[in-house]
């Protein structure tokens, strides 16, 4: 039996929902990088955060360490807030 998790990752810059499959041992930084690439965003992944249930996830933790469950809804947001004009 595989320990792969199906994930739904929303990328704020495009509002695209990316569906990814990754083992629970995958680093959070890798999920963020893959979601940005799938949304065709060429910016540096360090400028973004990945959140689950409103909480920012540490890039060096694994999906299992972060408590990510199958079919989890994650969001990739810019690290700095964008001013509204």
pLDDT of residue 70: 92
pTM, full prediction: 0.86
Q: Where are the domains of the chain?
A: 4-78
Q: What is the pLDDT of residues 65-81, one digit of tens each?
A: 999 999 999 999 998 87
The backbone torsions φ and ψ at residue 24, rounded to the nearest 5 degrees and listed phi first, read -65, -15
Output the CATH code of domain 4-78: 3.10.20.90
Q: What does the CA dihedral 33, 34, 38, 43 come to, rounded to 10 degrees? A: 10
Structural contact between residues 18 and 39, judged by C-beta atoms closer than 8 angstroms: yes
- DSSP run (H or E) holding 80: none
Among 40, 37, 17, 18, smallest CA distance to 29 is for 37
């Amino acid at each position: 039996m595989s320990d792969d998790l199906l994930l739904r990752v929303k990328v704020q810059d495009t509002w695209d929902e990316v569906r990814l499959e990754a083992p629970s041992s995958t680093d959070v930084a890798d999920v963020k990088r893959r979601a940005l690439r799938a949304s065709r965003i060429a910016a540096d992944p360090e400028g973004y955060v990945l959140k689950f249930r409103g909480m920012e996830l540490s890039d060096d933790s694994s999906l299992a360490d972060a408590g990510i469950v199958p079919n989890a809804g994650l969001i990739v947001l810019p690290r700095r807030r964008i001013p509204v004009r």
